[in-house]
């Protein structure tokens, strides 16, 4: 059975409505939908028709693993899925060489757009690919976000509602790889550009540009990051939607435009036009006493002139005047405020509509495959159209949309119900007709020549006199007033009049009743752009060309159902679903499927496929085709009531179809297994022979190598000759490989492997090059900061190494730029120094020259002098030119003396200082003052000038700890701690 391989969850309810026991009951039908929907089984079949329920949440059923599960598998062998429909259409296209189409229909919000995207994704991932094919796949997929951005919008029923119809042809080459595509768009809802109902938004692209556009881009376009600033974006009072991330979608659209092949100039031009529509919406008018309108927002005109590349004066005139041709002369007539606003809105709609058409043509150009022709490729079409729409206020746009849906429903009836029953009659097979509603009567009401609604509207637009929307309504009442599917306020009974406006007419569509307000019908029909759209696309292309395209292909159907109006996951609104089941004609489709035969094939096709199942028909049948089919089905054990033989076709009941498919599959699998087994044996034998040859060759080469090596070893001390060249080359190779593995890692590593005699000279050259390279790398890796650090350390080494006890402890410590930060130096001092650059600062202890009293000070090294600071005062400035020398002991104390020339009256004598960072501080002083040779390291004592020729002495001795005090002899006594090493 078809469900034998399914999981327990898959078998909730019936995966095919045809298998319902009570198949005539609408209650049983809806209950089966409910059971499966509750288990997140959103797909169910009616024969080959897929019924899809929108889950309003993400389901983990669209992964690569799921695609592989449905790839190349019989339609009924796995649970229902959109991938099964896509794969079945693809395999039918490949095997039967007939173009396919997938018709996706349903209400707005039922999931049609998502279904078409899943089909595209399936083909993009599972079909064969090459470099060119991958490019086409990428462009096919990336066309979706671009078209959604420019053609989709948030409505009351759907946050991502398609506001245009789309038919896409996917073109496949003879290998089954997608090589191109073509998109036809129609019925773009241009009125949304200038007006949105409360709770709805304009097209996504406007909000994506405002929210996601880069600051430089928005500045160039004259836009602000606030949708509330633009009149065309505030009509619905819904600039933000929780389920939509405009900023992220903007990035996706920009990337998609690049993948599709838009140049930077084309993207810039496209965004200029989008921005110009927003600026047009902000154009405001004032009125003169004469009634003529004038523009009050000059800034918008400047932006528009620049973005559209037009003259501002001409643009202003076009927005406030209309051109009238009288007796061959052109006259400019001023518009009043209302007329000017209408002209502005008409221009906005026209600009956006033509931009959308240009966008689709550009995408088609990127998808076009120049080598593709009908003779070597096939097509799968995807139709995604507006769902049937019923709003609180329905106007001319909804009339066109619902009429298009009416025609598609008629097509569905023609291809599934009417043609099904007519085929049985043509085949001469007994058949009990199934009653269904044929909506041709409604299509005729709208499109019939001379007396249909469209003809009456055209006639009212063209007739002389004072025609209006109301006169159009009156003419409808007089012409089609008696039609069973037409009603107006005047023709209605008292109860209906209470809920129906005087300016409305009602059409009873196949999907239900819809009231249309006639206000604006004549204006929109007279609008040249809208009139062309209606007359060319709707009447000619949509209703003729589209039908011709669809009728020429083998159809597959996806019927989408919306489970509730609140867009809530898990909510099942039975009343709403029953309404959709009714107008989608699902019950009629089910009854036709159950009443007829699920499997039918022409005799020649049937025999060609299944003749191998019967000895009498295999390998060839020489008699009449009908007799061959009869022999075959009798051999398979079919009862007379389980099949019928018509004039051209054999038909088999649904309950026996699976047995036939299983028999054929079993036979074909067995045949395939035998062929594969024979092929495997041949391949194995061939491969074993190759392996044996390789092994013999490997052994011969190994033996020859050993012989050459031994012979070379014997002749190794001889000059190079054919007998030893292999051995010598091997020895050299071995040395070089050993050298490669054991190269010195640092410049201090002098190790080097002993070379063979023939490589002594070359080895020495390699050693030198290696050392030079390591030195070069070492120098290269030393950055400027580290170089400066090393230079200072070199100065310190020259001055103090082996001369001062605490020098070794300073070596591993890095010298810093300063020992004081900005907060440690008083602001008044910084203000006094002004722009003078400070090179180093360190806290010190100063000892008075007389009493040797210790005082905390700061030593600042400037560009030309050293400064001693006490809190906020500059106590002493010592110019480097007057610095005679620096004295320091050889012990580990931090004492040092700056010897200053006394010729300057400002200098009072030498300066006695102590620092914890004496090595660093004196190195900095020596570098700044350029006194590297003026630092004296003394043993025992240091003499210094106090003032006016008086002399002071500092005595240094070793001890256990640092002690600094005035001795009894008047000298400054310094006891320095002993260190373990010098």
Residue with tokens 């051109």: 323
675-694 mean pLDDT:
90
CA angle 656, 661, 664 (to 5 degrees): 125
Assess contact for 205 and 151: CB atoms under 8 A: no
Return the H-helix or E-strand segment holding 876.
Answer: strand 873-879
pLDDT in tens, 810-852: 888 888 889 988 788 888 888 888 888 889 999 999 998 778 8
- pLDDT in the model for residue 761: 83
| Residue 571, SS3 per DSSP | coil
**Spatial separation of the C-alpha atoms in residues 314 and 492, rounded to whole Å:** 51
- Write the DSSP symbol of residue 466: -
Q: Catalytic site residue 387?
A: yes
Of the two residues 528 and 195, the one the predictor is more confident about is: 195
**Spatial separation of the C-alpha atoms in residues 90 and 95, rounded to whole Å:** 9
**Model confidence at 431: pLDDT above 70:** no
In terms of C-beta density within 10 A (0-12 exposed, 13-18 middle, 19 or more buried), how is residue 371 classed?
Answer: exposed
* pTM for this predicted structure: 0.59
Q: Catalytic site residue 389?
A: yes
**Model confidence at 327: pLDDT above 70:** no
231 preceded by a cis bond (ω within 30 of 0): no
Nearest alpha-carbon partner for 163 in 352, 366, 411, 380: 352
Please tell me the least confidently modeled range out of 220-224, 425-429, 504-508.
425-429
Query: 825: how many CB neighbours lie within 10 A of its CB?
Result: 18
**At a CB cut-off of 8 Å and minimum separation 6, what does 193 contact?**
202, 203, 232, 277, 345, 348, 349, 352
List the catalytic residue out of 381, 387, 596, 646: 387
In terms of C-beta density within 10 A (0-12 exposed, 13-18 middle, 19 or more buried), how is residue 94 classed?
Answer: middle
Whole-angstrom CA distances from 804 to 704, 797, 821, 886, 939 are 72, 10, 29, 14, 10
| β-pairing verdict for 599-602 and 649-652 | antiparallel
pLDDT in tens, 699-723: 999 999 899 889 888 888 888 888 8
Report residue 653's pLDDT band, with 50, 70 and 90 as the boundaries.
Answer: very low
What is the percent of the chain where pLDDT is above 90? 31
Nearest alpha-carbon partner for 857 in 889, 894, 825: 825
pLDDT in tens, 512-539: 889 999 988 887 776 543 343 343 334 3
List the catalytic residue out of 79, 92, 155, 161: 161
149-169 mean pLDDT:
88
Cα Rg for the chain, rounded, in angstroms? 47
Nearest alpha-carbon partner for 894 in 864, 918, 919: 918
- pLDDT in the model for residue 935: 92
List the catalytic residue out of 148, 211, 389, 420: 389
Report residue 746's pLDDT band, with 50, 70 and 90 as the boundaries.
Answer: confident
Assess contact for 369 and 171: CB atoms under 8 A: yes
In terms of C-beta density within 10 A (0-12 exposed, 13-18 middle, 19 or more buried), how is residue 358 classed?
Answer: middle
What's CA 559's distance to the chain center, in Å? 29
**Model confidence at 114: pLDDT above 80:** yes
Please tell me the least confidently modeled range out of 118-132, 423-437, 528-542.
528-542
Q: Catalytic site residue 108?
A: yes
List the catalytic residue out of 48, 79, 88, 162: 162
**Spatial separation of the C-alpha atoms in residues 103 and 110, rounded to whole Å:** 14
Nearest alpha-carbon partner for 147 in 121, 166, 120, 124: 166
Residue 81, sorted as left (phi over 0), alpha (psi -120 to 50) or beta, turns out to be beta
Beta bridge partners of 911: 898
Report residue 394's pLDDT band, with 50, 70 and 90 as the boundaries.
Answer: confident
Binding residues: 106-113
**Spatial separation of the C-alpha atoms in residues 42 and 62, rounded to whole Å:** 13
318-337 mean pLDDT:
80
Could you please report the per-residue DSSP string of 749-811?
----PPPPGGGHHHHHHHHHHHHHHHHHHHHHH--HHHHHHHHHHHHHHHHHTTTSTTHHHHT
pLDDT in tens, 756-788: 877 788 888 888 888 888 888 777 767 777 888
- pLDDT in the model for residue 641: 61
Of the two residues 968 and 777, the one the predictor is more confident about is: 968
Return the H-helix or E-strand segment holding 26.
Answer: helix 26-38
Q: Catalytic site residue 109?
A: yes
Return the H-helix or E-strand segment holding 486.
Answer: strand 486-488
Report residue 433's pLDDT band, with 50, 70 and 90 as the boundaries.
Answer: low
**Model confidence at 621: pLDDT above 50:** yes
**Model confidence at 173: pLDDT above 60:** yes
What's CA 49's distance to the chain center, in Å? 32
Determine the angle formed by the axes of helices 26-38 and 586-595, rounding to 10 degrees: 110
Query: Tokens standing for 549?
Result: 């395209």
Residue 970, sorted as left (phi over 0), alpha (psi -120 to 50) or beta, turns out to be left
**Model confidence at 221: pLDDT above 90:** yes
**Model confidence at 374: pLDDT above 50:** no
- pLDDT in the model for residue 538: 46
- pLDDT in the model for residue 536: 32
In terms of C-beta density within 10 A (0-12 exposed, 13-18 middle, 19 or more buried), how is residue 51 classed?
Answer: buried
- pLDDT in the model for residue 661: 52
253-257 mean pLDDT:
94
- pLDDT in the model for residue 370: 61
| Residue 201, SS3 per DSSP | coil
Query: 351: how many CB neighbours lie within 10 A of its CB?
Result: 18
Nearest alpha-carbon partner for 896 in 876, 873, 917, 882: 917
- pLDDT in the model for residue 528: 41
Q: Catalytic site residue 806?
A: no
**Spatial separation of the C-alpha atoms in residues 297 and 229, rounded to whole Å:** 14
**Spatial separation of the C-alpha atoms in residues 377 and 365, rounded to whole Å:** 18
Query: 365: how many CB neighbours lie within 10 A of its CB?
Result: 10
- pLDDT in the model for residue 941: 92
**Model confidence at 502: pLDDT above 70:** yes
**At a CB cut-off of 8 Å and minimum separation 6, what does 617 contact?**
607, 611, 628, 631, 632, 635
Average pLDDT, the chain: 83
- pLDDT in the model for residue 223: 93
What's 878-943 look like in SS3? EEHHHEEEEEEECCCCCEEEEEECCCCCCCCCCEEEECCCHHHHHHHHHHHHCCCCCEEEECCEEE
49-76 mean pLDDT:
90
Beta bridge partners of 558: 50, 104
- pLDDT in the model for residue 262: 92
Report residue 736's pLDDT band, with 50, 70 and 90 as the boundaries.
Answer: confident
- pLDDT in the model for residue 856: 92
List the catalytic residue out of 13, 54, 88, 109: 109
List the catalytic residue out of 158, 355, 364, 402: 158
Sorted by where each starts, the structural domains of the chain and their CATH numbers stand as 396-518 (1.20.58.530), 597-657 (3.30.70.1590), 724-781 (no CATH), 787-976 (2.30.29.30)
Binding residues for ATP: 106-113
> What count of Cα atoms within 13 Å lies in the side-chain half-sphere of residue 482?
3
Assess contact for 448 and 438: CB atoms under 8 A: no
**Model confidence at 606: pLDDT above 80:** no
Beta strand ranges found along 582-700 (DSSP E)? 599-602, 643-645, 649-652
Nearest alpha-carbon partner for 525 in 453, 458, 456: 458
Q: Catalytic site residue 162?
A: yes
What is the percent of the chain where pLDDT is above 70? 87
**Model confidence at 252: pLDDT above 90:** yes
Report residue 4's pLDDT band, with 50, 70 and 90 as the boundaries.
Answer: very low
SS3 content of the chain, % helix, strand, coil (to 5): 50, 20, 35
Nearest alpha-carbon partner for 193 in 205, 210, 182: 205
pLDDT in tens, 561-598: 999 988 899 999 999 999 888 878 888 888 877 765 55
* Burial state string for 252-272 with b = 16 or more CB within 10 A and e = fewer than 16: bbbebbebbebeeeeeeebbb
- pLDDT in the model for residue 78: 85
**Spatial separation of the C-alpha atoms in residues 497 and 490, rounded to whole Å:** 8
List the catalytic residue out of 113, 143, 320, 763: 113
């Amino acid at each position: 059975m078809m469900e034998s391989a399914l999981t327990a969850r898959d078998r909730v309810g019936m995966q095919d409505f045809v298998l319902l026991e009570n198949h005539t009951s609408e209650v049983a039908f809806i209950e089966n939908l409910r059971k499966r929907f509750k288990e997140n089984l959103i797909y169910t079949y009616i024969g080959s028709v897929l019924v899809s329920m929108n889950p309003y949440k993400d389901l983990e059923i669209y992964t690569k693993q799921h695609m592989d599960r449905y790839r190349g598998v019989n339609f009924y062998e796995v649970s229902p899925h959109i991938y099964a429909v896509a794969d079945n259409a693809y395999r039918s296209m490949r095997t039967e060489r007939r173009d396919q189409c997938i018709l996706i229909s349903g209400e707005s919000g039922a999931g049609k757009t998502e279904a078409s995207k899943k089909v595209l994704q399936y083909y993009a991932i599972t079909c064969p690919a090459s470099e060119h094919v991958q490019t086409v796949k990428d462009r096919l997929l990336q066309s979706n976000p671009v078209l959604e951005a420019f053609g989709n919008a948030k409505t009351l029923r759907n946050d991502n509602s398609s506001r245009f119809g789309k038919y896409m042809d996917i073109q496949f080459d003879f290998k089954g790889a997608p090589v191109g595509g073509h998109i036809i768009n129609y019925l773009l809802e241009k009125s949304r550009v200038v007006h949105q109902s409360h709770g709805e938004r304009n097209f996504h692209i406007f909000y994506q540009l405002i929210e996601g556009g880069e600051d430089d881009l928005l500045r160039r376009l004259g836009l602000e990051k606030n949708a509330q600033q633009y009149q065309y974006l505030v009509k619905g009072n819904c600039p933000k939607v929780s389920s939509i991330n405009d900023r992220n979608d903007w990035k996706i659209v920009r990337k998609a435009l690049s993948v599709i092949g838009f140049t930077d100039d084309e993207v810039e031009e496209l965004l200029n036009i989008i921005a110009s529509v927003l600026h047009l919406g902000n154009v405001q008018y004032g009125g003169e006493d004469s009634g003529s309108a004038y523009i009050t927002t000059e800034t918008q005109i400047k932006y528009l002139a620049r973005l559209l590349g037009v003259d501002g004066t001409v643009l202003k005139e076009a927005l406030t005047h209309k051109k009238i041709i009288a007796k061959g002369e052109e006259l400019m007539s001023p518009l009043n405020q209302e007329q000017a606003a209408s002209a502005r809105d008409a221009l906005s709609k026209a600009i956006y509509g033509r931009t959308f058409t240009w966008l689709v043509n550009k995408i088609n150009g990127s998808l076009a495959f120049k080598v593709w022709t009908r003779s070597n490729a096939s097509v799968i079409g995807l139709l995604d159209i507006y769902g049937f729409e019923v709003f609180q206020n329905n106007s001319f746009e909804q009339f066109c949309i619902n009429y298009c849906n009416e025609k598609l429903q008629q097509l569905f009836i023609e291809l599934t119900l009417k043609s099904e029953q007519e085929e049985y009659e043509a085949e001469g097979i007994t058949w009990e007709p199934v009653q269904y509603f044929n909506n041709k009567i409604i299509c005729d009401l709208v499109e019939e020549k001379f007396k249909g609604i469209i003809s009456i509207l055209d006639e009212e637009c063209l007739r002389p006199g004072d025609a209006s929307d109301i006169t159009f309504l009156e003419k409808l009442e007089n012409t089609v007033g008696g039609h069973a599917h037409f009603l107006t306020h005047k023709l209605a009974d008292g109860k209906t009049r209470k809920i129906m406006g005087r300016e409305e007419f009602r059409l009873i569509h196949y999907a239900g009743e819809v009231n249309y307000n006639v206000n604006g019908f004549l204006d929109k029909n007279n609008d040249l752009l809208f009139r062309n759209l209606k007359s060319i696309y709707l009447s000619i292309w949509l209703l003729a060309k589209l039908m011709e395209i669809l009728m020429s292909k083998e159809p597959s159907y996806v019927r989408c159902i919306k489970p509730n109006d609140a867009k809530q996951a898990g909510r099942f609104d039975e009343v709403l679903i029953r309404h959709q089941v009714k107008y989608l004609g699902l019950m009629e489709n089910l009854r036709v499927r159950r009443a007829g035969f699920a499997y039918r094939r022409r005799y020649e096709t049937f025999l060609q496929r299944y003749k191998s199942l019967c000895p009498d028909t295999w390998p060839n049948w020489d008699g009449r085709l009908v007799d061959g089919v009869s022999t075959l089905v009798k051999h398979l054990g079919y009862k007379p009531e389980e099949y019928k033989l018509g004039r051209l076709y054999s038909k088999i009941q649904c309950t026996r179809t699976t047995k036939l498919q299983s028999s054929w599959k079993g036979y074909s699998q067995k045949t395939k297994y035998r062929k594969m087994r024979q092929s495997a044996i041949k391949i194995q034998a061939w491969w074993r022979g190759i392996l044996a040859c390789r092994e013999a060759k490997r052994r011969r080469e190994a033996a020859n190598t050993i012989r050459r090596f031994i012979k070379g070893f014997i002749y190794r001390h001889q000059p190079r000759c054919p007998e030893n060249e292999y051995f010598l080359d091997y020895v050299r190779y071995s040395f070089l490989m050993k050298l490669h593995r054991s190269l010195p890692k640092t410049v201090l590593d002098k190790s080097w492997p002993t070379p063979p005699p023939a490589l002594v000279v070359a080895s020495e050259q390699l050693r030198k090059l290696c050392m030079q390279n390591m030195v070069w790398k070492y120098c290269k890796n030393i950055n400027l900061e580290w170089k400066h650090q090393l230079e200072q350390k070199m100065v310190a080494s020259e001055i103090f190494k082996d001369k001062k006890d605490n020098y070794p402890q300073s070596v591993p410590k890095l010298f810093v730029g300063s020992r004081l930060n900005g907060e440690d130096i008083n602001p008044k001092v910084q203000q006094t120094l002004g722009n003078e650059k400070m090179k180093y600062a360190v806290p010190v202890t100063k000892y008075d020259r007389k009493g040797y009293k210790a005082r905390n000070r700061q030593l600042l090294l400037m560009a030309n002098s050293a400064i001693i600071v006490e809190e906020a005062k500059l106590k002493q400035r010592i110019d480097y030119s007057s610095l005679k020398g620096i004295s320091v002991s050889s012990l580990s104390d931090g004492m040092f003396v700056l010897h200053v020339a006394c010729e300057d009256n400002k200098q009072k004598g030498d300066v006695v200082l102590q620092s914890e960072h004496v090595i660093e501080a004196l190195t900095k002083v020596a570098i700044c003052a350029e006194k590297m040779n003026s630092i004296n390291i003394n043993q025992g004592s240091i003499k210094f000038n106090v003032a006016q020729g008086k002399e002071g002495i500092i005595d240094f001795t070793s001890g256990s700890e640092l002690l600094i005090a005035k001795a009894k002899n008047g000298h400054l006594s310094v006891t320095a701690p002993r260190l373990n090493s010098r």
